[in-house]
Chains A and B, each alone.
Chain A
Amino acid sequence: MFPDSILDNEVAMSKTSIIPFGPQHPVLPEPIHLDLEIEDEKVIRAIPSIGFVHRGLESLVRKKDYNEMVYIVERTCGICSFMHGMGYCEAVENLMEVKVPKRAKFLRTMWSEMSRVHSHLLWLGLFADAFGFEALFYQAWRYREKVLDLFEMSTGGRCIFSVNKVGGVVRDVPEDMLKHFKQVFTDLKKDVKVIGDTFLKDKTVNMRLRGVGVLTKEQILDMGAVGPFARGSGITHDLRMTGYDAYPELSFEPIFETDGDNYARTKVRIMEIYQSIDLICEVIDKMPTGPVSIPVKGNPDGEYAMRLEQPRGEAVYFVKGNGTKYLDRFRLRTPTFANIPAMVESLKGAELSDVPLYIHSIDPCISCTER
């Protein structure tokens, strides 16, 4: 009936094929391509490639002066745009030894934590969509809208905010608006708890996440991963501990889990949402009065590498000035680029049907990577 070779397991098992995954794929939000080398349904190797929408934003540093460059850097990404602008400004401010007013630091911290809340809610939605729980996806994005509304109210934008400048921020937030923010976030915490509990306690969700995509602490260190992805494997590294902006005056401790699977990464991000909401309320309570920016004189000269904790992990902003208003070099190392090697490592041995979950578990932002 069947030829012997088909019935012979050994022969059938040894067949290797390559499946192209992306850059256009239903579960991929952004263009990354993987060549998946598979045996039966198991991935034995993944070869990544990027660059499909590379924009070369870094090269614009030679054409725009260091103040105009803030608006270019913000456009690296539509999700973490605030923190990209902030990281660049703080790198230049540190280089020029500019002392930013305290209120500006608190406002930057508040907007940063708001960015983290909406980025993690976006990820939770996309992750739920990737494992087929669409109701959870809609709920997560519904709550994210509330944060975007607050961004629009305070900055005028929902994606690109343009409130950072070298020397502080360009907009102040009035006290009554801050009180409104606190009320919204207090309510939001109760709402997010409902979807958070579904992620962490629902049986079907647990079955898809527990024990999937396990990376040990040693593997994470070997592959140089960062952010919540690394903190899910027991790494306690969080750059907010360096005490930039208002963090020294806030009660903050890094959140981490030790299991190293997709469940641990999800739990870290959900706990970070609760923590960020607490930090926002604390910032509003402790918000000092005073100016939000100071005039900056002179031009940057020298080199400085600023590191920030973005929602997706550690981002490095390297600036090199030459004493003129044009910088010599600006280099942005994004967390997604740092997490790709670990993601590729985790794919070894994965089931083909779980590949989207593995990719989503690093919270990929290819827009950042294709800066």
Chain B
Amino acid sequence: MDKIYEPTQNYRLVKAEELLDVVQEKKNDGKRLLQMFVTHVYGAYEAIYIFDEGDYKIECIVTYVEDDETLASVSDFYPYACYYEKEAVELYGVKINTGDSFNKLYHIAEETPYVSRFDIR
């Protein structure tokens, strides 16, 4: 191959209230959202947003919200993010105002099945 891109990755912790500003900056810079997912850790939700920084580099934006708090939706900037957010809401029970037009993505019998199974203490 003529050119090999060295994959590198950064982790950045941001406050939940600053999340939208950071994501808007990423969108303005033309970065691609690879995925978003949550885990229930130490009594709070840890949300990780992975962005493609170009040239095959990635950056992980990590934020935390309390159980009763609502995580801001980034689907205004990345329309397809609502699929990841719906997965987080329906499987993990985090509160996000996904704000899209269809109600349920996952047809499963148990509601929010991963809340207790992924609880890291």
Q: Are chains A and B native binding partners rather than an unrelated pairing?
A: yes
Point out residues on A near B: beta carbons under 8 Å. Answer: 33, 47-52, 54, 56, 58-59, 62, 221-224, 239, 241-244, 247-248, 250-253, 303-305, 307, 314, 316, 318, 328-329, 331, 333, 337-338, 340-342
Indicate whether B24 reaches chain A with its CB closer than 8 angstroms.
no
Q: Which parts of B89-121 form the interface with A (CB within 8 Å)?
A: 90, 102, 104-108, 113-114, 117-118, 120
Indicate whether B60 reaches chain A with its CB closer than 8 angstroms.
yes
When chains A and B are docked, how far (Å) is the Cα of A47 from the Cα of B11?
34
Contacts of A341 in B (CB 8 A): 79-80, 83
State whether B83 touches A305 (Cβ < 8 A).
Answer: no
Closest to B2 in A: A253
State whether B9 touches A304 (Cβ < 8 A).
Answer: yes
Q: Which of A48, A59, A251, A304 has the most CB of B within 10 A?
A: A59
State whether A56 touches B114 (Cβ < 8 A).
Answer: yes
B103, chain A: closest CB distance, angstroms: 9
State whether B34 touches A303 (Cβ < 8 A).
Answer: no
Indicate whether B33 reaches chain A with its CB closer than 8 angstroms.
yes
When chains A and B are docked, how far (Å) is the Cα of A77 from the Cα of B58?
26
State whether B105 touches A49 (Cβ < 8 A).
Answer: yes
State whether B48 touches A49 (Cβ < 8 A).
Answer: no
Q: Which of A224, A243, A337 makes the CB contact (< 8 A) with B5? A: A243
B5, chain A: closest CB distance, angstroms: 5
State whether B39 touches A333 (Cβ < 8 A).
Answer: no
Q: Which of B32, B37, B79, B107 makes the CB contact (< 8 A) with A50? A: B107
State whether A59 touches B79 (Cβ < 8 A).
Answer: no
State whether B56 touches A223 (Cβ < 8 A).
Answer: no
State whether A52 touches B1 (Cβ < 8 A).
Answer: no
State whether B56 touches A241 (Cβ < 8 A).
Answer: yes
When chains A and B are docked, how far (Å) is the Cα of A342 from the Cα of B32?
14
Q: Which of B7, B33, B118 makes the CB contact (< 8 A) with A329? A: B118
Q: Which of A56, A251, A337 makes the CB contact (< 8 A) with B1? A: A251
Closest to A304 in B: B9
State whether B7 touches A307 (Cβ < 8 A).
Answer: yes
Q: Which of B1, B80, B117 makes the CB contact (< 8 A) with A62? A: B117
A22, chain B: closest CB distance, angstroms: 11
State whether B56 touches A242 (Cβ < 8 A).
Answer: yes
Indicate whether B50 reaches chain A with its CB closer than 8 angstroms.
yes
State whether A54 touches B106 (Cβ < 8 A).
Answer: yes
State whether A56 touches B117 (Cβ < 8 A).
Answer: yes
Of all A-B residue pairs in the complex, the 9 with the closest CB atoms, nearest first, are A51-B106, A243-B4, A341-B80, A333-B35, A224-B80, A59-B117, A47-B102, A51-B107, A242-B56
Contacts of B37 in A (CB 8 A): 318, 331, 333
When chains A and B are docked, how far (Å) is the Cα of A307 from the Cα of B107?
28
A24, chain B: closest CB distance, angstroms: 13
Contact with A along B10-33 (1 / 0, CB 8 A): 010000000000000000000011
A132, chain B: closest CB distance, angstroms: 30
A219, chain B: closest CB distance, angstroms: 10
When chains A and B are docked, how far (Å) is the Cα of A56 from the Cα of B7?
29
Contact with A along B33-57 (1 / 0, CB 8 A): 1110101010000001010000010
Contacts of A241 in B (CB 8 A): 1, 3-5, 56
When chains A and B are docked, how far (Å) is the Cα of A134 from the Cα of B74?
44
| Contact A305-B107, Cβ < 8 Å, known A243-B1, A248-B1, A333-B35 | no
Q: Can you list 25 A-B contacts with CB-CB less than 8 angstroms, sorted by A residue number?
A: A47-B102, A48-B105, A49-B105, A51-B105, A51-B107, A51-B108, A56-B114, A62-B117, A221-B32, A222-B80, A223-B80, A241-B5, A242-B5, A243-B4, A243-B5, A250-B1, A316-B34, A318-B50, A328-B39, A329-B39, A329-B120, A331-B37, A338-B35, A338-B80, A341-B83
When chains A and B are docked, how far (Å) is the Cα of A248 from the Cα of B1?
6
